[in-house]
Structure 1
């Protein structure tokens, strides 16, 4: 079906928020023409998307996969010891929801209250959180929804390693919770839920839930994929359409071939934290000094565009586990028999297959004790007093266990592994992104800002120690893969030991054997003292320095970019107001995670959906519509002629 040259609403970007806005508005009124423009391919019926257990393939940069776009720091970073960070962004309809780890988490209640914007408090947003959920787990509170389009479950299976992890977490003071995502609990562990439908075994992505479900029954939602939005078209300061180009550079003799689509009501930018500010700047919205240097006409001088880039930071460590443990290692290693077995299992019974899981079955949120704070340095303690101390719902770190090695298996020795992830949820560090040309294919100037605030080292160092203590207390523990840990001095009591049971004769000193349960060394005939493994390792200042160097060398993105078009007062560097209108323009909104004025302690899929739901509500009210769902149909109302989408919402 061809696409019209003029529609009512154009949504630029088919990530989670964009899918929600486009789908909700189109479904609200079949007479409303909505166009969704996405730079990547359509995700519909793509087995590499809907089979949950193969998500790792989508994260690889191998020349074949085109489901992600990679942003690399323009300059080497002294904070990363001369390294450049790489931040992948989804390049497919559904955005990150089509290729992410599928980990279900939610932001803390105070995160939304910290927006300090009318209509955006936790109390305001909770009904929308519930509206989007099809929660498929037992629950003892009223914070979840059960009739929404996004399925949340434990997946097809939960490994025994997850239970082992929970028991070991409890042993070091991290209690079990049956719902760590109630927006209030900040120090506990749980069986980690997933964006997987337990009835079908499939990934629950935003495009399937909000877009395909509408295009199946209506003809007013036009989806254009493999197209990159170049700029917004203005008449004065009023957005009247967009220009887009082919996603791949097919410029001829230096010319960029643009296609124009007009918008009668509103243009919505939903191209993500790294994409939206670039579109704004190419359109003449941003820091006037930057725009004039690129010979761009200034529509609205907003110095905050592209600033205050934020992410969550992760490090990962590998541990050996017993041969009896179920992990995905043989599958990921490429063992043909294992792959054949697991794929056949998925085809016959996807609702309970092992590939109907991400193998991330357990995790924790943690806050330091008063004693632990004394070891974390003045920079972090200052941040703690200002940011965390009086907000007990905010965790400092997340952690999770993967039943398998999240690594290049061609470089690993044989064996079975677990991966421990540590996630810093509220970094103090900040970055920025700005265009370097009017050409939409030209790489931007990008500074991720990773670890440029010293306060961020202490919590990652502390969390590394916590996950290591958990691993050492697991029954399946068989030693540390030293190549994936800090390089401690060999004589340090904290030095890692690789003690694979199958090669113990090669690894152990003569006359020693291995205490199989916890990996301690002891002489033949000597009683195994299990109590020693319940003693925390001690770290010297030299050991802490080794951890910090390792963090600088290995810290990575969690694909949780946000914050470059902040929703706050214009005089404070804000880009959008509480109704998501871009300052100094008309009929132009930003609806994605770029609008966050502060960080959110969560895997950000849930928050992107929520921002989309809130944006859809705002737009619907301005257009005189009511949001409806298949579960509770609401008769649509006609759009009053000539009514702009920037009309203030009356509450």
Structure 2
């Protein structure tokens, strides 16, 4: 960025997937538009831990320079734990550090927002615009000329095929396209945000921003934290605590109120999840070798990655499914979830209750597992939890920790879903539902397990002790009418201000049955169109 820069047309604060997509589109279509991107973390340009999918777990290390870790309040609902939730702290936001999993919401998710211009019919063209889809030509809901490439990568773990063999024998259909916006129950080999030729991660900064290195009107300022939006009355004129939110809460802290929006920070949502661990054969390739920095392993695969092939081109998430309970299973899930199912899922067959993915490796603390052993994890991700939390200001000090309640498992219906997802784990000795270690391939004959009341109690205890985040924070500045607790309108304008928009996952007024990166990119594409319209410009 030029040292003399003192005035720009647009400032994007926090360079997430949304901001990179919006700024990139605006800059490419209008080269004379002066745009400044401000990111508190480092630049991700050609950073190996970013562009190498197999190194993604380095971002969750306690000393990570690319992630921010938010300490949640302790809660009885999770046995007195204070969950920690990570978010992107680098240019490109979560797209630079996530698991590069390609997922998309159900069409009904967008329609449920009930916001003009944000229905499925409005956003599906933007989903197509985002991507170059390499998994089959001519599919109506996919795009083939976008900045972000979608592929299987060129490495496939045999354990993933065993997972698909087992889950299909359990009656879950193998489908061609799990992310066609209408399938709510099925399984498949999982696509990824990975380039099929180079094997590189497809993050928003490398796909939307860095290709415009020669655009002298697009400026990037990293390692800089914005602490305040400057106002002339109610008009935002720059960035430097800003006085937008619950007037009572702000006034108690001595913050002058610009716009009284009581619901700012409320309605926090995440996808609560349970991710149990399983032993697998010591000869199976997993990310455990990367985490342990096995020199023999790295010496073999780093040169292969340089040629766009091999293990490091994979995110180790090769198979998964979207699951809905059978009528018999629903009867066993209890009245709390049965009521939720009737209201949320019964008339929406495109909505999964659970997203399940197989992960080759263990991404928890290595002190918890034996050295040199190999593991896999099955992520059970609740697609539409009913529990809510909040993120509230606690001080005028911009570096002070917020009052952060994750809300995990506050509602019994959420516990019921995770019990259904992983009821077969952690049982008393001698239980007919107990787990045993097996060598060799999985059995071909699969029988339903038998559970006692003692088993059920043990499962719930295990869930409350182990459930946590999927790093999909949304909803604290919802896009809905102000009288319904909204904070921004359908054009992303913050109520009670001018020149100020919010364009990130905090605006999402209702959860989506998918990992959130595709939704973030769609918000970015939509934001570019809305901003261009406000300025009398055009984004093709």
Deviations 1:252-303 (A, max 9, x none): xxxxxxxxxxxxxxxxxxxxxxxxxxxxxx2111000001001111111100
- Of 498, 504, 507, which residue of structure 2 is paired with 1:592? 504
Q: TM-score scaled to structure 1, two decimals?
A: 0.81
- Is residue 416 of structure 2 the alignment partner of residue 458 of structure 1? yes
- Is residue 220 of structure 2 the alignment partner of residue 227 of structure 1? no
Question: SS state of the match for residue 461, structure 1?
Answer: helix
Match of 1:12 in 2: 13
- Of 316, 326, 345, which residue of structure 2 is paired with 1:369? 326
Q: CA deviation at 1:230?
A: 0.7
Question: SS state of the match for residue 534, structure 1?
Answer: coil
Query: Residue 295 and residue 83 in structure 1: after superposition, are their counterparts in 2 closer, same or farther (change >3 A)?
Result: same
CA contact (8 A) 2:479 2:508 kept: yes
Q: CA deviation at 1:404?
A: 2.4
Instruction: Give, in whole Å, the separation in 2 of the partners of 1:20 and 1:98.
Output: 13
Q: How does 1:170-185 map to 2 (within 5 A)?
A: 170-185=168-183
How many aligned residue pairs are there? 538
Q: How does 1:513-552 map to 2 (within 5 A)?
A: 516-518=440-442, 533-552=445-464
CA contact (8 A) 1:139 1:178 kept: no
Match of 1:30 in 2: 31
Query: Residue 78 and residue 618 in structure 1: after superposition, are their counterparts in 2 closer, same or farther (change >3 A)?
Result: same
Match of 1:555 in 2: 467
- Of 202, 205, 219, which residue of structure 1 is paired with 2:203? 205
Question: SS state of the match for residue 69, structure 1?
Answer: strand
- Is residue 250 of structure 2 the alignment partner of residue 286 of structure 1? no
Q: CA deviation at 1:140?
A: 6.2
Instruction: Give, in whole Å, the separation in 1 of the partners of 2:203 and 2:289.
Output: 27
Match of 1:72 in 2: 71
Match of 1:47 in 2: 48
Deviations 1:535-571 (A, max 9, x none): 1211222212111111111111111000000011101
Q: CA deviation at 1:235?
A: 0.9
CA contact (8 A) 1:152 1:194 kept: yes
CA contact (8 A) 2:65 2:89 kept: yes
Instruction: Give, in whole Å, the separation in 2 of the partners of 1:7 and 1:324.
Output: 56
Q: TM-score scaled to structure 2, two decimals?
A: 0.97
Per mean C-alpha deviation after superposition, the further-off stretch among 410-419 and 18-27 is 410-419
Question: SS state of the match for residue 576, structure 1?
Answer: coil
Q: CA deviation at 1:139?
A: 4.8
Instruction: Give, in whole Å, the separation in 2 of the partners of 1:3 and 1:572.
Output: 44
Instruction: Give, in whole Å, the separation in 2 of the partners of 1:222 and 1:112.
Output: 33
Q: CA deviation at 1:590?
A: 0.5
Q: CA deviation at 1:493?
A: 1.1
Instruction: Give, in whole Å, the separation in 1 of the partners of 2:289 and 2:208.
Output: 36
Deviations 1:420-464 (A, max 9, x none): 111011110000011111121111111111111111011111111
- Of 412, 421, 434, which residue of structure 1 is paired with 2:379? 421
CA contact (8 A) 1:286 1:302 kept: yes
Question: SS state of the match for residue 226, structure 2?
Answer: strand
CA contact (8 A) 1:317 1:419 kept: yes
Instruction: Give, in whole Å, the separation in 2 of the partners of 1:10 and 1:407.
Output: 37
Instruction: Give, in whole Å, the separation in 2 of the partners of 1:493 and 1:402.
Output: 27
Match of 2:433 in 1: 494
Q: CA deviation at 1:411?
A: 3.4
CA contact (8 A) 1:139 1:179 kept: no
Question: SS state of the match for residue 332, structure 2?
Answer: coil
CA contact (8 A) 2:55 2:290 kept: no
Match of 1:150 in 2: 148
- Is residue 292 of structure 2 the alignment partner of residue 333 of structure 1? yes
Q: CA deviation at 1:120?
A: 0.4
Q: CA deviation at 1:353?
A: 1.5
Instruction: Give, in whole Å, the separation in 2 of the partners of 1:553 and 1:418.
Output: 20
Deviations 1:149-176 (A, max 9, x none): 1111101211111111111110001111
Deviations 1:105-153 (A, max 9, x none): 0010000000101110001111111011111112563101011111111
What stretches of structure 2 of length at least 5 have no aligned partner? none
Q: CA deviation at 1:3?
A: 5.4
Question: SS state of the match for residue 230, structure 1?
Answer: coil
Instruction: Give, in whole Å, the separation in 2 of the partners of 1:306 and 1:315.
Output: 25
- Of 69, 74, 84, which residue of structure 1 is paired with 2:82? 84
Per mean C-alpha deviation after superposition, the further-off stretch among 324-333 and 41-50 is 324-333
CA RMSD of aligned residues (A): 1.5
CA contact (8 A) 2:488 2:507 kept: yes
Match of 1:430 in 2: 388
Runs of 4+ in structure 1 over 6 Å off: none
Query: Residue 291 and residue 409 in structure 1: after superposition, are their counterparts in 2 closer, same or farther (change >3 A)?
Result: closer
Per mean C-alpha deviation after superposition, the further-off stretch among 129-138 and 103-112 is 129-138
Match of 1:310 in 2: 269
CA contact (8 A) 1:156 1:355 kept: no
Instruction: Give, in whole Å, the separation in 1 of the partners of 2:251 and 2:374.
Output: 57
Deviations 1:553-606 (A, max 9, x none): 111111100000001110111000111111111111110110011111111111
- Is residue 516 of structure 2 the alignment partner of residue 618 of structure 1? no
Instruction: Give, in whole Å, the separation in 2 of the partners of 1:334 and 1:225.
Output: 29
Query: Residue 94 and residue 291 in structure 1: after superposition, are their counterparts in 2 closer, same or farther (change >3 A)?
Result: same
